[in-house]
Amino acid sequence: MAVAEATATGQRVKTVHFVRLKLRLMRNGLRGQPWRIALFISGVVVGVGAAVGGFGLFTAAAVTGGRTGLVMTGFAGAGLTLSWLLMPLLFFGVDETIDPARFALLPVRRGVLLRGMLAAAGVGIPSLATAVALLGSVVGTAVRHGPVAGVALVGAVLALLTCVVGSRALTSAFASMLRSRRVRDLAAILLAVLASSIAPLQFAVSSLISHGDLDRAARIAGVLAWTPLGAPYVAAADAADGRWGTALVRLAIAAGSVGALLVWWFGTLESAMIGVAAGARSTNRSGPPVRAVVALFPALLRVLRPGRFSGLVAREWRYWWRDPRRRANLFSVTIAGAVLPAVLRVGPAAEHGGTPLPLAVAFSALMAALVLANQFGLDGTAYALHLLVGVPGRVELRARALGLVLLMVPIQVLVTVAVAVLTGAAAQLPAALGVVVAGVGLSAGASALASVLAPYPFPESTNPFAVSGGTGGLRGLLALAGSLSAAAVLAPLLLFAVLTDGPVAGVVVLLAGLVWGGAGLVIGTHVAGDILDRRGPEILAAVTPRR
Amino acid sequence: MTESALVLRGLVKRFDRVTAVAGVDLDVPTGSFYGLLGPNGAGKTTTLSMAVGLLRPDAGKAWVLGHDVWSDPVVAKGLLGALPDSVRMFDRLTGGELLAYVGLLRGMETGVIETRTAELLDVLGLADAGRTLVVDYSAGMKKKIGLACALLHAPRLLVLDEPFEAVDPVSAALIRDILNRYVAGGGTVIFSSHVMEVVERLCSHVAILAGGEIRTVGTLEEVRQGRPLEDVFVSVVGGRVATGAELSWL
């Protein structure tokens, strides 16, 4: 093989060897296999068709220019990148013609290997077709704006790199993750998540199309243009309109994301190589001694000073991710929190400006902390440790609530901002954020109370969706009652937020929301903490599964 | 008379109609290696759970080195290390993370936690497990990490429920050695078991529990009176150890 020959003859290994290796492997794969040749030819035909179509689309978009051109470029570019990222994961799997693990024993320097792998990844029908299609934007820009085509060329190269490296990084990271038990737990959930998010997505897209709404499309394209998905494609349009600064920033976004993807991909490549060298026990390798306290804290929480409270928060974070039941809960709450506000905004009342934003986000905020309503049931008999150590009830409940709040509030804020921008409700944003913070805090407080008043056991099974029959459902009603009372407490603030408008009222709601949510959390955990101190052993008994 | 490390007075626990523990009194002298023997269902786990504050007794009290477990829990629980049986751990952490977590909950200094965690994992042969989560440990490894959690804060009293169950012979010898050194250093151990051999080899004191009551109690010699412990146990607990005319078809 080319690389092995090169190393054997003492010749310096260069990137071109990897490309030759890839081409030779492709040719050998076709030899004497009629159906493979047929498949290859049909692949070429599809590729040529896609290349020509894409070339036409991007050329037309660049020549049209203006807002329509921006929408066309933004959507086409984001669609292209997304299909590069998702298609291999969902349908095809990735072309592993050149397996990095094969090079583990060859004396090839790391940098050369990585460059070679990158070049080899770029050789193939999809990359060529994409390159041709992207050339369209360069040609189109050159026709209309002349020298600005340089920007288009840089953008096209960055876009191609994003596609190739991104799909490589995603698939190889996913492949190496699938080897561990943790992710096998996850895979089932992920499929459920994908299935459940397709319907709302269809809904959103079809409503956009049926409204034939260029304004809204332009807004979405405007957002896409600031993400790595769209940035490299629309930079040339900005430059053509004379916004050179914007164009440069977009190119920088694209370049930065290519860099980040490269680092990520190279990281997974190296671990893939070590994985084979170390054999089957690779996931258990002891490696350099890790400091236990540091290891307990997730990277984002390392700013905290290690102690009882921060230790509890750190363990909660680890558990939201590592415990399959908790993870399933977290996913469903997150998805509901993302979908519900969007649907309420563009749903039935859309003709009249849609549901007011603060109301649209209130439901998901109130639901966010419901996952804590049986937090002791989630831990099961493991709670015995806290009893043995004698963790004070308030410390325990506040740490648990804070762990969830630190997870949920950023997600909810992000969703609220995105929905506000996309549905043209930016003016209502401060008030909506106030409602979100208040809702999450209040429901966390109510859930703390529910969790000490009506704990119930989950079966000790690995299936995250298993619930014990009998009383579990009934006690779940109490959690519902808890969230209803949280809703009742939130109602005055919500009413004020919906009835008023203007920036001053918005800021008032935001500040009041912070106070509201904070007070709900503090009071709820204060009362619940007292109960927990008195009823600890009873709660342990209540969450112990019957055998 | 030396002060008792653990004192139980009149502990009673009923589940529905069944009386699991019917008034247990026990004095565990400081520095003793105490074996709590009993057949299955005798109430060993229930008694020890009440002694460490996991299960609220219907009547009776428990003191750890003079501190009431139920009315003065903070001090009592600080002096106590426990390995409960049939209780899960926070097993979705690695061994090191679990120990660090226990240490932080106990309010220990980070540096001390690091040193002791490394040493415990090393001695117990768990350092090789690396990034493996405790949930994926074998039964014996789980017992060992549980013991490490109980030892981490250097308690004065260790309460261990079935510490030798599901443990392989090598690990059992290691645990015996650790516990012997702990007692030699002035610590007190009480553990439950139904394996006579282990109790006979390790313990200075023995109590035999059956039907929720203490049947026999004293130093090993007092209880044995020259006979093998197994004979004493069978005669105290009752029950047949030989067959008569039945099963002749075997």
Q: Mean pLDDT, to the nearest integer, of A296-302? A: 83
pLDDT at B50: 92
Taking the CA of residue B45 and the nearest CA in chain A, the distance in Å comes to 14
pLDDT at A466: 43
Q: Mean pLDDT, to the nearest integer, of A311-339? A: 82
pLDDT at A284: 41
DSSP string, A137-164: HHHHHHHHHGGGHHHHHHHHHHHHHHHH
With beta carbons under 8 A apart, name residues in chain A contacting B94. Answer: 295
pLDDT at B8: 92
pLDDT at A7: 55
Taking the CA of residue A314 and the nearest CA in chain B, the distance in Å comes to 9
Pair (A196, A64) in one structural domain: yes
Residue A178 pLDDT exceeds 60:
no
Do residues A342 and A419 lie in contact, with contact meaning Cβ atoms separated by under 8 Å?
A: yes
Cβ of A380 within 8 Å of Cβ of B88? The answer is yes
Minimum mean pLDDT among A71-85, A135-149, A202-216, A473-487: which range?
A: A202-216
pLDDT band at residue A159 using 50, 70 and 90 as cut-offs: very high
Cβ of B77 within 8 Å of Cβ of A284? The answer is no
Query: Is A462 in the B-facing interface, judged by CB distances under 8 Å?
Result: no
Residue A272 pLDDT exceeds 70:
no
- The pLDDT tens digits for B181-218 are 999 988 999 999 888 888 888 899 999 888 888 888 88
Dist. CA A370–CA A443, nearest whole Å: 7
A149-177 helix and A125-145 helix, angle to the nearest 10 degrees: 160
- The pLDDT tens digits for B95-146 are 999 999 999 999 998 889 999 999 999 898 888 887 888 888 888 889 999 9
Do residues B95 and B134 lie in contact, with contact meaning Cβ atoms separated by under 8 Å?
A: yes
Do residues A397 and A313 lie in contact, with contact meaning Cβ atoms separated by under 8 Å?
A: no
Dist. CA A26–CA A127, nearest whole Å: 15
The DSSP element (H or E) to which A176 belongs, if any, is: helix A149-177
pLDDT band at residue A204 using 50, 70 and 90 as cut-offs: low
Between A286, A290, A311, which is nearest B105 by CB?
A311
pLDDT at B9: 92
Q: Which residue has the higher pLDDT, B241 or A481?
A: A481
Cα dihedral across residues B166, B170, B173, B177: positive or negative:
negative
pLDDT band at residue A288 using 50, 70 and 90 as cut-offs: very low
Mean pLDDT of chain A: 78
Between B93, B114, B131, which is nearest A315 by CB?
B93
Q: Which residue stretches of A369-463 are H helix?
A: 375-379, 384-389, 393-422, 429-453
Q: Is residue A389 part of a domain?
A: yes
Domain that holds residue A200: 2-278
Dist. CA A374–CA A378, nearest whole Å: 6
pLDDT at A280: 35
pLDDT at A89: 59
Cβ of A541 within 8 Å of Cβ of B55? The answer is yes
Pair (A266, A318) in one structural domain: no
Query: Is A530 in the B-facing interface, judged by CB distances under 8 Å?
Result: no
Cβ of A295 within 8 Å of Cβ of B100? The answer is yes
Which of A102, A129, A105, A128 is closest to A18 using CA atoms? A102
Q: Is residue A165 part of a domain?
A: yes
Between B56, B104, B128, which is nearest A306 by CB?
B104
Q: Is residue A287 part of a domain?
A: no
Do residues A378 and A472 lie in contact, with contact meaning Cβ atoms separated by under 8 Å?
A: no
- The pLDDT tens digits for A33-50 are 677 777 778 888 888 988
pLDDT at A161: 92
With beta carbons under 8 A apart, name residues in chain A contacting B127. Answer: 286
Minimum mean pLDDT among A171-185, A203-217, A272-286, B88-102: which range?
A: A272-286
pLDDT at B189: 94
Pair (A322, A268) in one structural domain: no
Name the token pair of A361.
């986000």
Taking the CA of residue A103 and the nearest CA in chain B, the distance in Å comes to 26
Between A311, A388, A391, which is nearest B54 by CB?
A388
With beta carbons under 8 A apart, name residues in chain A contacting B101. Answer: 296, 311, 314-315
Which of A132, A122, A128 is closest to A164 using CA atoms? A122
Helix (H, G, I), strand (E, B) or coil at A24: helix
Pair (A208, A339) in one structural domain: no
Query: Is A315 in the B-facing interface, judged by CB distances under 8 Å?
Result: yes
Pair (A37, A137) in one structural domain: yes
Chains A, B: CB contacts within 8 A come to: 118
Name the token pair of A307.
């102690």
Query: Is A183 in the B-facing interface, judged by CB distances under 8 Å?
Result: no
Q: Is residue A296 part of a domain?
A: no
Query: What percent of chain B clears pLDDT 90, i.e. is strictly above it?
Result: 41
Cβ of B110 within 8 Å of Cβ of A385? The answer is no
Which of B4, B6, B5, B8 is closest to B60 using CA atoms? B8
pLDDT at A101: 65
Pair (A265, A315) in one structural domain: no
Please tell me which residue of chain B has the smallest CA distance to A288.
B130
The answer as to CATH 3.40.50.2000 being correct for domain B4-94+139-237 is no
Residue A123 pLDDT exceeds 60:
yes
B155: left (phi over 0), alpha (psi -120 to 50) or beta: beta
Q: Mean pLDDT, to the nearest integer, of A408-426? A: 84
Please tell me which residue of chain B has the smallest CA distance to A547.
B86
Domain ranges of chain B: 4-94+139-237
- The pLDDT tens digits for A89-118 are 554 444 555 666 667 677 777 778 778 888
Residue A487 pLDDT exceeds 50:
yes
C-alpha of A117 from chain center: 26
Dist. CA A431–CA A439, nearest whole Å: 12
Pair (A515, A385) in one structural domain: yes
Between B88, B97, B106, which is nearest A292 by CB?
B97
pLDDT at A205: 58
pLDDT band at residue A201 using 50, 70 and 90 as cut-offs: low
Q: Mean pLDDT, to the nearest integer, of A390-399? A: 92
The single residue listed with the structure tokens 């219907």 is B58
DSSP string, A380-405: GGGGHHHHHHT--HHHHHHHHHHHHH
Pair (A206, A319) in one structural domain: no
With beta carbons under 8 A apart, name residues in chain B contacting A314. Answer: 101
Pair (A329, A272) in one structural domain: no
Cβ of B104 within 8 Å of Cβ of A308? The answer is yes
Helix, strand, coil share of chain B (percent; to 5): 40, 25, 35
Q: Mean pLDDT, to the nearest integer, of A337-359? A: 70
pLDDT at B196: 85
Burial of A97: CB neighbours in 10 Å, binned 0-12, 13-18, 19+? middle
